Chain A
Amino acid sequence: MRRFLMLMIVLSSLSYSSKVFSVQPDEMLSDPVLELRAREISQKIRCLVCQNQPIDDSDADLAHDLRILVRERLVAGDTNDQIMKYLADRYGDYVLLSPPFKVTTLVLWLGPLFFLLGGGWVMASFYRNRKNGVPRPRARKADW
């Protein structure tokens, strides 16, 4: 099991090999289960310095501190959700790359659905118009 997980970690880091590898070897936990969880959490936490990167990918100093913090809390026995909440308490929901479903994020979550339905409606009425309202162009011969 441990070997398998180590392999998973190695493979998952290979898939990032096109990028600069931000997680430093000295940051990593010796327990592969916890390390894998740390990576999983770090990919969901936004770096507040380079605002469109998860802390897992970021070379910013703060991202490094947050990665260490995530690992410390894991070792202390926190669940993934507790750690996410710990960070959101301090930096706001902004720190979560996938924002929670709330009144303030309704537009964000339902907006795409609204656009999909709106687009569907536009297309439906376009085709309906073409069928009924607008006369089809007749064959040229008849017009002569």
Chain B
Amino acid sequence: MRISLVPMIIFVVLAVIFAWRLVLVNQGEVPNLIPSTMIGRVAPVFDMPVLRKNGAQFFTADLRGKVHFINFFASWCVACRQEHSLLLQLTGQGAVLVGIDYKDAGQDAVQWLVQMGDPYDVIAVDRRGRVGIDFGVYGVPESYVVDRQGVIRFKQTGPLTVEDVQTKILPLIKELNK
């Protein structure tokens, strides 16, 4: 091989790699998204108090038997406002809607839900964010679809979009209910 061709070949290879990545990003891939290790795994063990219901607890075992859509939210989270109307659309679509109130203070979440509307069937409180860590949450909002066996099947990092709901989440919930 002629030596003078080497820089040329390196350049072409790099150009192809960069172009390929740019196309992927253009198609909607998020480069700084961290792939979840939780998909395909049983939901972590938790035991959380239920919001507005004194003494009631919500356990991992409660996930069995029905498809669940778990949404980590917080009253202080701006992006949660953005996705909230989509959550309202998810009610009655074949999944139990679980809200996990992530690191909120006092009754902030109660007020927030009064103001924004309450799409959830159950709301559990994760005051210290430990359940979030067990789920691999690194920023709210994050959402998970859990099947009837309690296995995590899907994770959405960041706010839901109409497209995600229509093309990924609703079809998945439908399939898991079969």
Majority SS of interface residues in chain A? Answer: helix
Given A48-B34, A51-B32, A91–B6 Cβ distance below 8 Å? Answer: no
Q: How many residues of B contact A (CB 8 A)?
A: 19
Residue B177, interface by CB 8 Å: no
Q: How far is the CA of A91 from the CA of B134 in the complex (A)?
A: 9
- A64's nearest neighbour on chain B, judged by CB, is B129
Q: How far is the CA of A64 from the CA of B138 in the complex (A)?
A: 12
Q: How far is the CA of A61 from the CA of B133 in the complex (A)?
A: 12
Given A66-B133, A90-B136, A91-B136, A126–B32 Cβ distance below 8 Å? Answer: no
Nearest CB on A from B32, distance (A): 6
Given A49-B138, A90-B134, A129-B3, A65–B129 Cβ distance below 8 Å? Answer: yes
Within 8 A of B (CB), among A74-91: 88-91
Chain B residues at the A interface, C-beta cutoff of 8 Å: 3, 6, 32, 34-38, 44, 103, 128-130, 133-136, 138-139
Given A90-B133, A92-B136, 15 more contacts at CB 8 Å?
A48-B139, A49-B139, A65-B133, A66-B133, A69-B133, A90-B38, A90-B136, A91-B34, A91-B37, A91-B136, A91-B138, A92-B35, A92-B37, A125-B3, A129-B3
Chain A residues at the B interface, C-beta cutoff of 8 Å: 48-49, 51, 61-62, 65-66, 69, 88-92, 94, 122, 125-126, 129
